Amino acid sequence: MGHLPYGDAAPGSLVTVPTELAISTCRLRPEAAADLQRLIAAAAGDRAVEGRLYAFSCHRSLAYQQSTFCRTRQSDSGADRAISAAPPGHSEHATGYALDFTVRPADGCPDAEACMAAKPAFRWLAANAPRFGFEMSFPAGNKQGVKWEPWHWRWVGTSATAPGAARARFL
């Protein structure tokens, strides 16, 4: 269905992102969390963002992903549902390296929706996130055939030699 298989990060391999950086509880691998903090601080200091970036959805256990997948457009077949949500065991969120971004004020744009791409915060992310080791997981026309998700980003490190980057890139 387009999504790659992933195992679940061990709970002990994750840290909690400070609450002022996230809309809800956010747990990531330490190296990703450190770069996320730097990214959000840089965005907060840039007027071009026109709002404030937050982490919205970070690590999801396999059980949590099961509930996310099953409640997404329940009338659709599994293949249709997988366009919008990964089946359990196939979500980057389970790795502890992926997160969804949101921006406040939302100005009527719900979290995890394509309207995020119209926001100055998205343009800032697109231009600056690689400096902090993040890349958009599912750009338009991605090889996996997954729906374009301008809010969903994964940490891969600023270079292949950055601490933890080899593991993140392998996963």
Structure confidence by residue, pLDDT tens digits, 6-28? 889 999 999 999 999 999 999 99
From CA 36, how far away is CA 17, in angstroms rounded? Answer: 9
Residue 112: what pLDDT? 84
Q: Are 15 and 90 in contact (CB under 8 A)?
A: no
From CA 26, how far away is CA 15, in angstroms rounded? Answer: 8
pLDDT band of 85, cuts 50, 70, 90: confident
* Residue whose C-alpha is closest to residue 98's, from 86, 107, 114: 86
Q: What pTM, to 2 d.p., does this model score?
A: 0.87
How many residues appear in the chain?
171
Residue 109: what pLDDT? 92
Backbone angles phi, psi at 49, to 5 degrees: -70, -30
CA atoms within 13 A on the CB side of 98: 22
The percent of residues in the chain predicted with pLDDT above 70, rounded, is 87
Mean pLDDT confidence for 62-71: 70
3-class DSSP state for residue 130? Answer: helix
Structure confidence by residue, pLDDT tens digits, 112-124? 888 999 999 999 9
R_g of the chain computed on alpha carbons: 15
Residue 82: what pLDDT? 45
Residue 78: what pLDDT? 45
Residue type, 101: F
